[in-house]
Amino acid sequence: MAADPPEPPDQAPAPAPTPSDPGVASDGARVVRPRRAAPAEAARVTRAEINLAHLRHNLHELRAVLAAAAEGRGRRPARIWAVLKADAYGHGGTVAATALERAGVDGVCVALLEEGIELRQAGVRVPVLVMSGSHGRRRDGLEALIEHKLTPVVFDAEQVEALANAQRYMQSTRASEGPLDVHVKIDTGMGRLGVRPEALEPLMGSLRGRGELRVTGWMTHLACADAPEDTVTKTQLARFEGSLAEVARAGFDVSLRHAANSAAVLRWPASHYEVVRPGLALFGVHPLGAAPPSHESEASSAPRAPRLKPVMSVRSEIVALRELPEGASLGYGHTWTAARASRIATVPIGYADGYSRALSNRGEVLVGGRRVPVVGNVSMDLTMIDVTDLPHVTVRDEVVVLGEQRGRYGSDAISAQELAERSGTISWETLTSVSRRVPRFYRHP
């Protein structure tokens, strides 16, 4: 296993701020980013293991799905731009991006300017799309965006003006040559970001008058691609294509389009266009559940379900054991009382690590390949489990919170989907909640 490269010590002097430094706010204050716990510094036994071979496998599986879908439609397979926002769904953005780039991914997508800069500083060279656009006042961060050759998404005239001004300034200093590539986001029904179809004409007018910018892509975001009901996605795709027809009539190049997230890659071949943007599926979680939908619809024509492999597992160890008599209670609020003489183990993982408090008295973990229940309230740093039925358990035995385990009592697995369902949320949140204080260990292919 290998880990992230060592980071400079906290005492290292900060470099002088520059106007394009994304770590400097508009009032001159320096923004200090939190560091992730590094394996070499970790004293706790709780850890996340990231299997990069599984990440590459999932990329190849999605490519196979795209190739089969394209063959059935008589077109070239869509290219994959991996969505690596939120630190690659908690897996480690720079490491995931580097592994995917070596595996031949065509591009990556992030949400924030800072995420894109971090990838560039790690040596990532494929196109990096900043999907949430730019929200800074005046030129905050825009010069850094241009300097690092990131591709912003635009959807209003104010963004267009700010980017054009920043690009013109960078051209005047010879820090950038030629126009800045941008993608335009059309809001077809998500209702968050994007230009509404009825407002396209003014935006196109703004873009047409800005030679500093070049529109190289058009995108939308599907709201319900994973839903059993097809109506919303059909409507969104129809709106997108209607908008693209208007854009093409206005003389813009529409040869690069993208709409499909992980669910749409698997369920909506009509949404593949030239580029797709899978995120969750790359990390081994099926966005449609354990298997694709069984009902027949116009959407469910993907050739086969990919055989995805989970990329992340979260493991810890038992650090304490104690015997509780029948009737004894434990934990904050005494929400659990022993119905029999019980053996209770303490595990150093809690809600500050991303193990949800909603799993109190309802979650399960694996010990020796057997499921055991979480008892009492999950606290910030510690969780208690009932190992009464596992007579040979000792301190230092491994505990699997997420992932597979084989042991003396059998074999089993706990998925991100299961954790999400038990805690009343979604797999995306389960993965991204694994906090920075949990060190990541990387298994390289």
Give me the catalytic one of 85, 89, 273, 351: 85
- Across the range 436-441, mean pLDDT stands at 94
Asked if 273 is an active-site residue, the reply is no
Q: How many CA atoms lie within 13 A of 15 on its CB side?
A: 9
pLDDT tens digits along 231-260: 999 999 999 999 999 999 999 999 999 999
**Which pLDDT score is estimated for 209?**
86
Every domain of the chain with CATH number 3.20.20.10 lies at: 52-283
| One CATH from 3.30.70.20, 3.20.20.10, 3.40.50.920, 1.20.1250.20 for 52-283 | 3.20.20.10
Please tell me which residue, 71 or 433, carries the higher pLDDT value. Answer: 433
Confidence of residue 289 (pLDDT cuts 50, 70, 90): confident
∠ CA 48-50-56, rounded to 5°: 165
pLDDT at 43 over 80: no
Mean pLDDT of the chain: 89
pLDDT tens digits along 186-196: 999 999 999 99
The DSSP-derived string for 307-359 is -----EEEEEE--EEEEE-TT-EESGGG-EE-SSSEEEEEES--GGGT--GGG
Residues 6+ apart with CB under 8 A from 349: 46, 314, 316, 355, 381, 382, 383, 399, 401
pLDDT at 220 over 50: yes
pLDDT at 26 over 90: no
- Across the range 329-354, mean pLDDT stands at 98
**Which pLDDT score is estimated for 175?**
85
**Which pLDDT score is estimated for 39?**
67
pLDDT at 101 over 70: yes
As assigned by CATH, the class of the 312-414 domain is: mainly beta
Every domain of the chain with CATH number 2.40.37.10 lies at: 312-414
Q: Give, for 236, the enclosing helix (H) or strand (E).
A: helix 231-249
- Work out the number of other CB atoms within 10 angstroms of the CB of residue 254: 19
Give me the catalytic one of 89, 234, 332, 442: 332
Asked if 332 is an active-site residue, the reply is yes
